[in-house]
Amino acid sequence: RVPKEKPKAEAAPKPRQAPTDEAQMAAAAALARLELKPKAKPPSSQEAIKNQVRKELMAEAAASEEGLSAEEKDLASPDREGAAAPSVSGVYFICPLTGVVVRKDQKEKHLREAIQSYFSVDPVAASIMEIHTFNKDREKIRVGVETVAKYLDNIYLHPEEEKYRKIKLQNKVFQERISCLEGIHKFFQAIGFETKTLPVPGQETTEEYYVLKEEMLTKLEDLKDYKEQLLSSEPVRAQLDRQLSVFKPSPEAARFELPNDFYNLTAEEIKREQRLRTEAVEKASMLRTRAMREKEEQREMRKYNYTLVRVRFPDGYILQGTFYARESVSALYNFVREALRDDWLPFELLGPGGLKLTDENLAFNECGLVPSALLTLAWDAAVMADIQAAGEEQPASPLKPELLSRVQTLS
């Protein structure tokens, strides 16, 4: 017989490389957008505005994603060998103007693009958003907008006085309080001012002025409204996306792998601190006073901006969400209630060691629940006894069906 040929050894598969941050961000943002709850539709005009802004931004994002090379797309595969998958891919925010979910490091860029797109819809509102959102010094903003309000008040109260309709751009007060604010010049242009070069009375030189257009004298009420908007507006803040997830019962519930987004320090700095702390832990525990230990614990808590919290239900199912480290625990109680079929059912949340979280006004970092925590939910025993005594049929899980429909398995 002719001996069978030995099968050729297959070439060893090339080890996969970790996905790029950009690819992870795009995939996670797309997934998070799909998981957002449907919201009540605003009036059609507002919906049209949002759609217009969203369409422009999504077109830019699509063009960017199409630019990925084949290698980069392969790197975006979620199957990574040799490393534990993170519990979440990062920290994400929801843009209030577009409803799009973006990663933390893209948040400000997206807000800028969204506000810039809004100029085609309402230039006055867009310029006011820029002023309040992108100038970080709140006191400078207050002084600047109050000074602008005085200019507009003078025009509104004395429309016949030509001097109030002109603002010298090199005026010291204008330069120090107003001109330094991002978005302020767009605001002046949006409400009807134009730049003109005019002679200075009593001099042969000329200066640049903002001059109110003549037609605005018939729209003084509009000018008054613009002033009120400027004074009363708040910064546009992206909302932290909870990234709500539900997991099947798992022994891995207490195991967390967090991305760098959750830390103030870099990964290298955290590793170095952990190494130094491990080397000195025995000596430190002997020499430190209680006050010193508490002070170090407080310093440790400040390292975290966010926390990933899991709540394990009596049936083993796990509810997960992302929170600010300095957010009050009441946000977690609300988060859990919103996930229940019957949000009136009283419950308690138990921390490590069975400690009850009774003070909902405390922050997560004050309770030691950072950068991650596994809590246990316990129903009110008396209420549950009453329900059982009434013979009411209870659902298999207390969680809403729409959440159970997308239950996951902890890796």
Domains by residue range for the chain, with CATH = 93-239 (1.20.58.2190), 301-409 (3.10.20.90)
Q: How far is CA 368 from CA 278, 294, 301, 405, in A?
A: 20, 12, 7, 32
Q: What is the pLDDT of residue 390?
A: 83
Cβ-contact 132, 141 below 8 angstroms: yes
Q: What is the pLDDT of residue 56?
A: 60
* Three-state secondary structure string covering the chain: CCCCCCCCCCCCCCCCCCCCHHHHHHHHHHHHHHHCCCCCCCCHHHHHHHHHHHHHHHHHHHHHHHCCCHHHHHHCCCCCCCCCCCCCCCCEEECCCCCCEEEHHHHHHHHHHHHHHHCCCCHHHHHHHHHHHHCCCHHHHHHHHHHHHHHHHHHHHCCCCHHHHEEECCCHHHHHHHCCCCCHHHHHHHCCEEEEEEECCCCCCEEEEEEECHHHHHCHHHHHHHHHHHHHCCCCCCEECCCCEEECCCCCCCCCCCCHHHECCCHHHHHHHHHHHHHHHHHHHHHCCHHHHHHHHHHHHCCECEEEEEEECCCCCEEEEEEECCCECHHHHHHHHHHECCCCCCEEEECHHHCECCCCCCECHHHCCCCEEEEEEEECHHHHHHHHHCCCCCCCCCECHHHHCCCECCC
Q: What is the pLDDT of residue 261?
A: 85
Regarding pTM above 0.75, the answer is no
pLDDT digit string (tens) for the chain, length 411 residues: 444 554 444 444 444 455 555 555 554 444 444 444 444 444 445 565 566 666 666 655 555 545 444 333 433 344 434 445 778 999 999 999 999 999 999 999 999 999 999 999 999 999 999 999 999 999 999 999 999 999 999 999 999 999 999 999 999 999 999 999 999 999 999 999 999 999 887 788 899 999 999 999 999 999 999 999 999 999 999 999 999 999 999 999 999 998 888 876 656 656 666 666 666 555 555 555 655 555 555 555 567 889 999 999 999 999 999 999 999 999 999 999 999 999 999 999 999 888 899 999 999 998 989 999 999 999 998 888 888 888 877 778 899 999 999 999 987
Q: What is the pLDDT of residue 228?
A: 97
Q: What is the pLDDT of residue 262?
A: 84
Q: What is the pLDDT of residue 362?
A: 94
